[in-house]
Amino acid sequence: MKFSDLDAIFLPKSAALIGASRNPRKWGFKIGLNVIAEKFRGAFYLVNPKETEFLSRRVYPNIRDIPGAVDLAVIVIPAPLVPSALKECGAKGVKAAVVITSGFRELSPEGEKLEREITGIARDHGILLVGPNTMGIYSADVKLHALMVPVAPFPGKISFVSQSGNLGVQLLTESRSHEVGFQKFVSNGNEAMLHSEDYIEYFGGDPETRTIMIYLEGFKNPQRFLEIARRVSREKPIVLLKGGKTDSGARAALSHSGAMKSTRNISSAIFRQAGIIEVEDTTELLDAAKGFERLPVPRGPNVGIITGGGGLGVITTDACELRGLRVPPLTTGLTEDLRKIMPDFWPGGNPIDLVATGGSRVVHTCIEKLAAEPYIDAVIALGVANRARAFADTPQTIFRTLPPEMLQEKTRVIEEGDRRLAELVHEVIERHRKPIIAVSLARPGLKYEEISPIVTYPTPERAVRVLARMYQYYQLQQRKS
């Protein structure tokens, strides 16, 4: 079997939940609710011989009783019942099955035998098998949330394969407050049939995926993994977090994913050779994926910094140098240009300190002129973006004393400023193909219903870390070509 086309998993026209239940404590309830509440775009059928109705929908006793075709089966029934269910899926012409059920290779030798059995059945019937022992899948375009927990990430261009279901869905949950958008997600469980590299290959060819994100503990086939990664990373950035890097961590990983007993450790140098960007922690995994998803990569190490305050400029400069980037002085020409719009006491230099002028004309000019300089490869702007969000978070007590019309007018002016800055930033990024990153303490959080139009991180250090990773990817690309 070739696994490069996994559309039946991620873009099914119809899906059935085998093991749907009215008992709210059961996964057959929770997953069904997630799929229905998040409005899966395809036909969705429920299967359980002991039930007749679920949230006002009909429940079929058997998948073969479903009138229409079924592309994807999501299976939550007990492990011993999975083989016969898979056979019925085969008879029905189901193309892919997500086996949520656990109790296979990760549990016992009997479970391992059962896992071999279901893999054989799937193979015989040409069914793509996700898992078993997976927490499920998500796909933005068809709005499929076949997940054990209620998670609704922003739709985006990142696709994510996680060898830990728990870590995967936690990151999807957290991703909203990071303003990271996802295209496709799979918790790949025991990898009985499909391995991490199969999903990577598929995401590599998926026109809706711009960046691939991986959490990995072990390999079923390290050589194939690296071959595929090497090929895919030429086209799309692959950002990876390795679990089990240390001795104790590897021991914990062994007891966690029984599927990975064939694990061997792979050094960071080997990941790098395969063009993979290996990150340090879960925060960086989301941060870097977001940068790669939304920005052009810097073609050199030189960063221009614009800052609303001296100390933040200092911190950002330190972070750049510590991460292998540079903060070069401004040319005399640019300094002269900026003097024309800056107050007399502007000290000059990069970081460009806005010295509390902060007017939008000054900010816009600084961004435009920095990005236009041939020796500047990227711009970081501190404290000038997403001001409306920061303003909304300002302690409310302060406003009780103000007339409401003053407050409204202030909000309007700030929102208009945000909008114009975002337009300018997009236009400048397009013109020069250089990344422009904002730093803003405005916590996006769940209360915002959309992703900020400018790529923003909450601290300078995180913005710099992303930029350094993007420059690393650029260097890897250069080396290969």
Please, which of residues 55-74 interact with a second copy by CB under 8 A? Answer: 55
Among 443, 453, 475, 477, binds a second copy (CB under 8 A): 443
Among 48, 456, 459, 472, binds a second copy (CB under 8 A): 459
Residue 385 or residue 424: which is nearer to a second copy going by CB?
A: 385
Q: Which stretch binds a second copy (CB under 8 A): 277-285, 292-300, 363-371, 423-431?
A: 277-285
> Does residue 257 belong to the site contacting a second copy (CB under 8 A)?
yes
Give dist(CA 109, CA 104) in Å, integer. Answer: 8
Q: How do beta strands 211-216 and 181-187 pair?
A: unpaired
Place of tokens 């936690």: 170
Q: Which stretch binds a second copy (CB under 8 A): 43-51, 206-214, 253-261, 363-371?
A: 253-261
Number of residues near a second copy (by CB under 8 A): 89
3-state secondary structure of 26: coil
Give dist(CA 157, CA 367) in Å, integer. Answer: 26
Residue type at 14 in one-letter notation: S
Residues in the chain: 481
Give dist(CA 65, CA 78) in Å, integer. Answer: 21
> Does residue 167 belong to the site contacting a second copy (CB under 8 A)?
yes
> Does residue 312 belong to the site contacting a second copy (CB under 8 A)?
yes
On the CB side of 253, how many CA atoms lie within 13 Å of its CA? 23
Q: Which stretch binds a second copy (CB under 8 A): 204-212, 418-426, 440-448, 468-476?
A: 440-448
Give dist(CA 370, CA 305) in Å, integer. Answer: 9
By C-alpha distance, which of 89, 129, 116 is closest to 1?
129
**Exposed, middle or buried, 336 (CB in 10 Å: 0-12/13-18/19+)?**
exposed
Among 163, 196, 302, 472, binds a second copy (CB under 8 A): 163
As measured in angstroms, the least distance from the Cβ of 68 to a second copy is: 23
x/- track of binding to a second copy for residues 317-356 (CB under 8 A): xxxxxx---xx-----------------x-xxx-x-x---
Among 14, 117, 461, 477, binds a second copy (CB under 8 A): 461
Per CB under 8 A, contacts with a second copy among 356-375 are none
Among 62, 283, 335, 357, binds a second copy (CB under 8 A): 283
On the CB side of 277, how many CA atoms lie within 13 Å of its CA? 31
Residue 3 or residue 399: which is nearer to a second copy going by CB?
A: 399
Among 43, 142, 152, 413, binds a second copy (CB under 8 A): 152
As measured in angstroms, the least distance from the Cβ of 148 to a second copy is: 9
| Phi and psi at residue 446, to the nearest 5° | -75, -15
| Phi and psi at residue 239, to the nearest 5° | -110, 125
Among 33, 142, 413, 414, binds a second copy (CB under 8 A): 33
Among 42, 150, 296, 300, binds a second copy (CB under 8 A): 150
> Does residue 245 belong to the site contacting a second copy (CB under 8 A)?
yes
Other CB atoms within a 10 A radius of the CB of residue 432 amount to 19
Other CB atoms within a 10 A radius of the CB of residue 118 amount to 26
As measured in angstroms, the least distance from the Cβ of 431 to a second copy is: 27
> Does residue 415 belong to the site contacting a second copy (CB under 8 A)?
no
Among 394, 404, 405, 450, binds a second copy (CB under 8 A): 394
Quote the radius of gyration of the chain (alpha carbons, Å): 25
By C-alpha distance, which of 427, 422, 332, 336 is closest to 381?
422
Among 80, 93, 126, 310, binds a second copy (CB under 8 A): 310
Other CB atoms within a 10 A radius of the CB of residue 258 amount to 17
x/- track of binding to a second copy for residues 183-212 (CB under 8 A): ------------------------------
Residue 249 or residue 300: which is nearer to a second copy going by CB?
A: 249
Residue type at 28 in one-letter notation: G
Torsion angle of C-alpha atoms 357, 361, 362, 363, degrees rounded to 10: 100
Could you give the C-alpha distances from 9 to 87, 252, 261, in angstroms and in order?
18, 30, 26
x/- track of binding to a second copy for residues 74-103 (CB under 8 A): -----------------------------x
Q: Which stretch binds a second copy (CB under 8 A): 6-14, 78-86, 236-244, 369-377?
A: 236-244
